[in-house]
Structure 1
Amino acid sequence: MVVRVAQYTLDVVDLDLMAGFWAAALGYAVDAGGDGSAKLHPPDDRVGAPTVWLQGSGTPKHGKNRLHLDVVADGDPADEVSRLIGLGARPADVGQRSDEGFTVLADPEGNEFCVLHSSPHRR
């Protein structure tokens, strides 16, 4: 037996801001709960894609993430980085050299994630 990633959970301070950002970034639909949380669902054509659970937290993020998302663009990675910055992401420095195969960004609340320049899947 093995496990698979089914959902990514993120503590957030501003639920509306973060739901809007991640829904637009991933192309997911938002199902807001009445309890300060929201679940983001992938489109039906992305079979097996994990959901994202945003749970309200009264405390902001501190320090570098110990776990983060790696995302891959459907098109040109540089265009995707620009699009994400337009949505509210910002470049982040976590000690990368800038010659790696990814670009590090942070979401509006400072959670780092990487835009991969190519798919990480085996070929």
Structure 2
Amino acid sequence: MKDTDFMLSGTIKEAKLTEGRGDDTTFHIGIEYDSWGYQGFTGYYFGEGEKNARKAAKFLDDVAAFFGCDSPANLIGKKVIALRNERHGAIVGLMNPDTEAKFIAAEWFEKNYGIKPLDEKSEIM
């Protein structure tokens, strides 16, 4: 696949849960691009507390399973194609280059919580 501004190939360098705003839990998947630099896939905040930390962990576990890994730690070193927002370049999903399947964060939220996070993100928490 040839890189475009909105689909960039790279390698996953980090995959972890992290603190977001305040005590909110979120995830961080760091991608080192083949063509330039590094970008993090993050920004969906799950809220405070253990229950919300489990939601963030499920998200990261589901990303790992999508790439055929049994844990997020095994994502490190995996080849990936970052799917980026056309307006501002933020990562909104990942594509597995082996299968060409796409993991779109907003679709994951809709499937798991029945909501569209961009429209009603406060309901996730």
Normalised to the residue count of structure 1, the TM-score between the two structures is: 0.29
Q: Which has the higher helix share?
A: 2
The structure with the largest alpha-carbon Rg is 1
Normalised to the residue count of structure 2, the TM-score between the two structures is: 0.29
